[in-house]
Structure 1
Amino acid sequence: MTTRAVVRQAVADDAEAVAAVRRAVYPYKAMSTAATRHMITVQAPGERFLPLVAESSGEVVAWGSAGLNVWTSDPGQSGVTIFVRPDHRRQGIGSELADRLHQHLTEVGAVRVRAFVHPDGLQFARNLGYDGTRQMHFSGVELGSLPEQPETPDGIELVTFDAVDPRTAYTADTIASLDEPGDSTMDSVDYDQWLEEIWNSPSMDKTLSVGAMAGDTMAAFTVVETDGDRMWSGMTGTIPQYRGQGLAKLVKSVALRRAAAAGITAAYTSNDDENGPMLAINNWLGYRRVQTELGLLKTL
């Protein structure tokens, strides 16, 4: 007889168990226990973030979260994440989490919800009223063999984030993110919130994250997040006036080499299907696709 799972609000002490379930569902995504704890506990009040877990026989077997997207000027945008450990699927856990999360989003004023699902979860999502908009490709590379590092152009200095003023990184990040493919433009990123959620997150390794400086301007950058011997590319971008010079390829190549020297053995990243330039860079670096997730939208 199957024990019915109990859904409750997640707390900081759930971080290790949630991280373990996440690794079981998404082996190609790297997020440490410390970063998971930060995700559970640190958000802007305006996000109205609700983190949930499902327990079976006292063991966390699923995660669900929902909140408003406060980094866009487009009102009422929100996101939902649900993942269930493979051996506990088809027991109604995902449906219960979805019901709780959609109800919460309706109560806090969301009008549209974004979610990403594995292909085998597409029918479940469609039954909840989601429809497809885009594809997100996930890829990985073993760091034992990397192509030759590109030359650094004249006038460019490479720095690690531990030697950078956070305001400089924030400026580059928010400018480069404006034309990232997505369903909502990231045009309303508050500095203090960015500082708390991104810069101060324990997932960001500032000794491995690399920026290309043109004088006082960060022209390009890549953010490295680590989990043991694995890393995740949090964001790689170049501000518009410095594009076309190979700077994104350069900073990512340098970061991967630094990561390999620090004992990281595997790197993972994701790219929207429409982001041809970044897909080309990752192919050159040796990344190979491991999964494609489907980006879906639901109107509340």
Structure 2
Amino acid sequence: MLIRAVEVTDAEALSQLRRDTFSYSVVSPAAMRHAITVHTPAEQRLALLAEVDGVPVAWGSAGLNTWTSEPGQAQLSLHVHPRYRRQGIATALHERLDNHLKDIGALRVRTFATPDGLVFGEQLGYERSRELHYSGVDLRVLPEEPPTPEGIVLETMDNLDPQQVFVADQTASLDEPGDSPLDSLDYDDWFEEFWNSPALDKSLCVAALAGDEVVSFSAMEVAGDRAWSAMTGTIPQYRGRGLAKLVKSVALRRCAEAGIVSAFTSNDDANGPMLAINSWFGYQRIETQTSLLRAL
């Protein structure tokens, strides 16, 4: 086994590795290249690849969470191809990533574990926190589109100024359930990492506007015949009017018209309103992951 730093040329292999590991993965090679190369320096991110006989079999990354005001919060991601588990690969990767986080002054790290990885995580000293549900829906069978309320205009994101969407995303994310608040989004970082991502198909992303203000939106990332709901949010003043269901309904229908067959998403277990909306669409749960926390 060889552990080395991830390179841009690994994008295609890593995209396939994610697909082999997670059945609901929606990450194209282009999106993976973007993820490898675009991130804020303040994150101090380290990305590693494990190879066996020259074949990529595992990926790991770790860095500071720069989208929260809480100091010293870090995130760690690690996954191993199913055929290469229980061979010490995850342990070796985690040791390198954990040392990196300590070196850059992280105070607490969060990661996610599938049911098969929970015991491994707890053996490393992590404690269970929240549950995150992954689900998918067949876009060839969708419920009828809800009506558009009076005073609301629907528009695709390719016709909007990114600043309009950023303000809505920033506002809607403030009370999103999680282990740390998403209360420190930086526009330049958001623009490069999210808005400029090749995964985001802005012609399939739908926003609801009241005048010039984006009050609800549904963002879709695409890879082949799959779509990922990257974020559906409504600003607090316009909640309870069915706007999230509306914009997501229109976005999913646009995806279906573009030849996309399946759509996937994830939701925190505490996000009851969004879970109810996805249930209405017909999303079926695929897997539950648990967020794990450990003080450093």
TM-score by length of 2: 0.99
In structure 2, what is the equivalent of residue 56 of structure 1? 52
**Counterpart check, 1:285 vs 2:281:** yes
Match of 2:29 among 29, 33, 39: 33
Please point out which of 198, 201, 205 is paired with 2:197.
201
Distance in 1 between residues matched to 2:133 and 2:267, nearest whole Å: 5
Secondary structure of 1:197's counterpart equals helix
Aligned partner (choices 204, 210, 230) of residue 214 of structure 1 = 210
Q: Which of 171, 176, 180 lines up with 1:180 in the alignment?
A: 176
Partner SS, residue 63 of structure 1 = strand
Partner residue of 2:103?
107
TM superposition shift of 1:29: 2.2
Deviations 1:153-212 (A, max 9, x none): 011110001000000000000100000000111111110110000000111110001100
CA distance in 1 between partners of 2:62 and 2:218 (Å): 27
- Given the alignment, which residue of 148, 156, 162 partners 1:160? 156
- The answer to whether the aligner puts 1:238 opposite 2:226 as a matched pair is no
Contiguous gaps of at least 5 residues in structure 1: none
What is the rounded CA distance, in whole Å, between the counterparts of 2:22 and 2:72 in structure 1? 28
| TM-superposed deviation, 1:82 | 0.4
Identity of aligned residues (%): 57
Structure 2 counterparts to residues 250-289 of structure 1, below 5 A: 250-289=246-285
**Residues 8-34 of structure 1: CA deviation (Å, up to 9, x unaligned):** 000110011111110011111211111
SS in 1 for 2:229: strand
> Which amino acid letter does the alignment assign opposite residue 175 of structure 1?
T
Q: Secondary structure at the match of 2:140?
A: coil
What SS does the aligned partner of 1:278 have? Answer: helix
* SS of corresponding position for 2:181: coil
Show the counterpart of 1:74.
70
2:18 counterpart residue number: 22
Deviations, residues 54-109 of structure 1 (Å, cap 9, x unaligned): 01111111000001001111000010000000111111110011000000000011
Q: Which amino acid aligns with 1:141?
A: V
The 3-state SS of whatever aligns with 1:94 is helix
Q: CA RMSD in A?
A: 0.5
SS of the equivalent of 2:69 reads coil
* C-alpha distance in 1 between matches for 2:25 and 2:157: 22
Residue 9 of structure 2 corresponds to 13
How far did residue 237 of structure 1 move? 0.3
Q: Partners of 1:130 and 1:88 in 2: how far apart?
A: 23
Alpha-carbon distance in 2 for matches of 1:208, 1:188? 27
Q: Return the alpha-carbon distance in structure 2 between the equivalents of residues 49 and 257 of structure 1.
A: 37
Q: Structure 2 CA distance, aligned partners of 1:97 and 1:34? A: 25
Partner in structure 1 of residue 188 of structure 2: 192
Query: In the alignment, does 2:126 pair up with 1:126?
Result: no
> How far, CA to CA, are the matches of 2:127 and 2:291 in structure 1?
8
Unmatched runs of 5 consecutive residues or more in structure 2? none
Q: How many residues align?
A: 296
Aligned with 1:257: secondary structure?
helix
CA distance in structure 2 between the partners assigned to 1:125 and 1:58 by the alignment: 27
Q: Distance in 1 between matches of 2:4 and 2:216?
A: 42
Tell whether 2:142 aligns with 1:142.
no
Q: Secondary structure at the match of 2:290?
A: strand
